[in-house]
Amino acid sequence: MMAKLLHFLLAEDDEDHAELILRSLKRHRVGNTVDHVFDGVEAMEYLRGEAQYVGKPRPDVLLLDLNMPRMGGHEVLMKVKEDPVLCTIPIVILTTSDAESDRLRAYRHHANSYLVKPLDYNQFSKMVDELGLYWGVWNRPCIG
């Protein structure tokens, strides 16, 4: 069923959330890989293969927090979706914000999916498992 192993990029400044997400993605999804950056500036450097990220693979899925230092998720989303080379990478917003204004802005800028981090640890863990399964196994990414 799997055509190839997938590579995730996680842009998340909260270390606890990142740890949970990384652990869950690694635990459940056979062979898929994941890299982690801490803010939007790093995310854009990674995606463009700049600075310390020269030679990094193009991610198949970007998991994107909204509230991050230096450059927030909305700006990353806009830059990626306006870039003809990067725009076909699915972006899953993963945030604590359930504000209607954030959802509207994200969907208008072509976020592929919008997930609100549950406050409950078990629910959070369950959601990450489901997102790993959905985007790591079922969804077919755009190659290149």
Partner 1 sequence: MMRATKFLLVEDDDDHAELVLRNLRRQCGPDSVDRVADGVEAMEYLRQEGEHAGRPRPDVILLDLNMPRMGGHEVLARVKADPRLCTIPVVVFTTSENAIDVSRAYERHVNSYLVKPADFAQFQKMAGDLGLYWGVWNRPLGNIE
Interface residue list for partner 1 (CB under 8 A): 1, 81, 87-88, 90, 98, 100, 103-104, 107-108, 110, 112-116, 127, 130-131, 133-134, 138-143
Alpha-carbon distances of 103 from 15, 20, 50, 95, 107, rounded to whole Å: 24, 23, 30, 10, 6
Q: Which is nearer to partner 1, 51 or 121 (CB)?
A: 121
Interatomic CA distance for residues 85 and 106, integer angstroms = 20
Q: Which is nearer to partner 1, 22 or 131 (CB)?
A: 131
By the 8 A CB rule, do 71 and 40 touch? yes
By the 8 A CB rule, do 117 and 95 touch? yes
Question: Please, what is the minimum distance in Å from the beta carbon of residue 6 to partner 1?
Answer: 13
Q: Which is nearer to partner 1, 37 or 111 (CB)?
A: 111
Question: Please, what is the minimum distance in Å from the beta carbon of residue 44 to partner 1?
Answer: 20
Q: In this structure, what DSSP letter does residue 97 have? A: -
> In 3D, which of 109, 101, 118, 87 has the Cα closest to residue 17?
118
Question: Please, what is the minimum distance in Å from the beta carbon of residue 107 to partner 1?
Answer: 4
Q: Strand, coil or helix: what is 34?
A: strand
Question: Please, what is the minimum distance in Å from the beta carbon of residue 67 to partner 1?
Answer: 16
Interatomic CA distance for residues 133 and 28, integer angstroms = 8
Q: Which is nearer to partner 1, 19 or 98 (CB)?
A: 98
Q: Which is nearer to partner 1, 51 or 87 (CB)?
A: 87
Question: Please, what is the minimum distance in Å from the beta carbon of residue 78 to partner 1?
Answer: 13
